[in-house]
Amino acid sequence: MMDRRLFLNGVLGCSLAASPLVTPVTLASAPWDTRLVVLILRGAMDGLDVVQPYGDPALAKLRRTLLTGPENGALDLDGFYGLHPGLTGLKPLWDAGEIAFAHAVSTPYRDARSHFDGQDLLEAGTGMDVPRAARVDGWLNRLLQDVPGVHSKTTYAIGVDEMLVTRGAQEVSRWSPDARLRLSPQAQRLLELVYHDDPLFRDAALEAIDITQRLSEAPELAPVEDAPMMDGMVPAARGKTAARVAEFAAARLREDTRIAAFSVNGWDTHARQGTTMGRRLGGLANTIGILREDLGAEIWGKTAVLAMTEFGRTVRENGSKGTDHGTAGAMILAGGAIRGGKVYGDWPGLDDSALYQGRDLMPTRDVRAYAGWVMRSLFGLKASQIERRVFPGLDLGTDPGVVL
């Protein structure tokens, strides 16, 4: 049996890949005045923990140690949903109508619950009828290919691989912060196997990643006591990882760039979710807060931020006080262009009979439909463009009205 300390040391050396410090930012300019920021939340964010349907009586029975609801610190949103306290810094955006959530959403991905396949499908924007080997471009790149007048800016230093969501025939600019360590594809596959085949190794890997993230993120997540508040928001502390990425993206969006995409990692919460989720959400709140502050009121007013994840997590917590890979989850929509202060979507319920395969939140809408309606409203795309070209095979359905 592999020595646990040796395993921890080995994983620790590559676990900085869970930090946005080693994540590229992809940028594109376009002939619009509106802005779109796409955040890929890698690792499968637990939407049931982030936007807690505490009004569903089954939730408390399914999650006995993952405390939910206003009586356990969640911020009440509408009498049915509560916001995880890790996103306290974004509550003023909710009150101002600048952030919303869509619940019970998913990609077409079903049943296998692999991070790599799930993320590929999310970024490719296709259905499962398209084999993984055929997913050669991403939905943001296909969007740009269909728009006249699109051009890229000068290419910046490249430190890591590009994101599939922006890969394709249309050239886009790329930039990455300096990074010394990264998680190799081989190590990723090893951890994927470890997570599911051996609980001891799974928990050890998560512990190593968590330790490293705390060490690398602590300076940027520490509270700034003397920083001025912006419209009541918790000030976003400025550090060297996620903050640096957000600052760079905002600076470009203030100029010619119209679309920015980057990822925020570390959402795989198989163990100790109650202690790790708050830090992850605090970092995400800082990222969105920095975008809002650095863009300024005028540009933020015509910006939409979409935070999407590959799939949700099981409705029941596991024996490690975490949750396993599921199906439907939640997405976050923020920005001055968003009609916020609302949780969108049809709630399917958490009774056993309402669950997908008896274990997961049932999807009631394709997450691509929300992204498609945002692009249709922001950029004036035709529905046929979105359904046939950007998200081939998608039925947009009725307009949920998420854009002002």
Instruction: Find out whether 318 and 65 touch, Cβ atoms under 8 Å.
Output: no
Write out pLDDT tens, residues 190-246.
665 665 566 666 666 666 555 555 544 444 333 333 333 334 444 444 545 678 888
Q: Which helix (H) or strand (E) holds 19?
A: none
* Domains identified in the chain and CATH numbers: 4-390 (3.40.720)
Distance CA 174, CA 156 (A): 6
Say how far apart CA 391 and CA 378 lie, in whole Å: 16
Q: What is the pTM of this model?
A: 0.83
* Tokens encoding 89: 């810094």
pLDDT band at 175 (very low <50, low <70, confident <90, very high): confident
Task: Pick 39 or 237 by higher pLDDT.
Answer: 39
DSSP 356: B
Residue-wise pLDDT for 57-113, tens only, equals: 999 999 999 999 999 999 999 999 999 999 999 999 999 999 999 999 999 999 999
User: In the predicted model, is pLDDT for residue 369 greater than 90?
Assistant: yes
